Structure 1
Amino acid sequence: MQASNPEIGTGPLPPIPAKRYFTIGEVSELCGVKPHVLRYWEQEFTQLKPVKRRGNRRYYQHHEVLLIRRIRELLYQEGFTISGARNRLGESAIQEQESKVEADQYRAIVAEVRAEVQALLEDLRG
C-alpha cells in the first residue's frame, strides 16, 4: 500500500555530498522531506539525534541522512505507520548486531583453522 502525499516528489533523491554535517535545510532537500517533518521524526525515532549547536541549530551527520531516507521510504513508499516503521528499524538494528556477532565468530574460527594449518605445515616441513 502506497501512501499518497502531494508534498513528496516521486523522482530520485539527489546524491549525498561528502560533508561531515548538514543543516536541516540541506537534509530537507536531500531527503525530500519538509523541515517540520524532520523535527517531528526526531521525537518519534530515537535513533535520530542531530547535534545541536549555536542557538539550538540542528546538524545532521551522513548516517542520519541515510536513516531519514530509510524512514521516508518506509513511511511514504512502503506504507508503514510511524509505529510500524519504528519497529522495522528496530528489527534491522537487531539483525545488524546479530550479523556482526556472527561475523566475529566466523573470524575467530578462521583464525583457529589458519593457526592449525600453519602448525601442520611446520610439522610436515620439519
Structure 2
Amino acid sequence: MPYKETKVEKLYYTIGEVAKMFDVNTSLIRFWEKEFDVIKPHKNKKGNRLFTQQDVDNFHVIYHLVKEKGMTLKGAAKKMKDNKTETVDNFEIVKNLESIRAMLLDLKENL
C-alpha cells in the first residue's frame, strides 16, 4: 500500500502570520484585538497570541469594513455586534464577486 501524505490544516496562527496575511503591522492586530470583542486569541505559557481560523475570518471582515469600506472603528464594532451574520454574508458576497470579476478580466485579456 503506497504512502499517502495527508494535508495538515493549521489550528493556530501566530500574530506575525496574521499580520502578514493582511500586510499590516502586528501592533494593528493587537489593537484590533482590544477593540473588537469577536477576536479572542489563545495565549501560550509565554503569552504569545495564537489565533484560530475563526479569528482570521473575523479579521477579514474587520479589515474589509475598516480599510476597504472606510468605516470608523466604532462603526465597524457596532456593525459587527448588531448584525454580524449579515455583515459576514455581505463580505462573502463581495469576495465572491471580486473573484468572478478577476476571472472575467483574465478571460478578456486572453481573447
Secondary structure at the aligned position of 1:30 is classed as helix
**Residue 59 of structure 1 aligns to a residue in which SS?**
strand
Partner Cα distance (1:94, 1:68) in 2? 14
Q: Which residue of the partner structure matches residue 37 of structure 1?
A: 28
Counterpart position of 1:64: 55
Report the CA distance between 1:94 and its aligned residue. Answer: 6.5
Root-mean-square deviation (CA), in Å?
Answer: 1.9
Q: Bigger relative contact order, structure 1 or 2, given CA contacts below 8 A and separation 6+?
A: 1
Distance 1:78 1:23 in 2: 26
Larger Rg: 1
* 2:105 matches 1:85: no
Structure 2: 5+ residue runs without aligned partners?
1-7, 88-111
Corresponding residue for 1:111? none
The change in CA–CA distance for 1:95 and 1:71 in structure 2 (over 3 A counts) is closer
| CA displacement 1:42-83 (0-9 Å, x = unmatched) | 110011110011210000000100111111110011010000
User: Is contact 1:31–1:65 with CA below 8 Å preserved after alignment?
Assistant: no
TM-score scaled by length of structure 1: 0.58
Equivalent residue pairs, number: 80
Match of 1:11 in 2: none
Partner residue of 1:21?
12
Q: For the residues of structure 2 that align with 1:41 and 1:21, how far apart are their CA atoms?
A: 18
The aligned residue for residue 37 of structure 2 is 46
Counterparts of 1:89-100 in structure 2 under 5 Å?
A: 89-93=80-84
Tell me the TM-score normalised to structure 2 length. 0.65
Point out where structure 1 has 5 or more consecutive residues left out of the alignment. Answer: 1-16, 97-126
The reply on whether 1:73 has 2:64 as its aligned counterpart is yes
Name the SS of the counterpart of 2:16 in structure 1.
helix
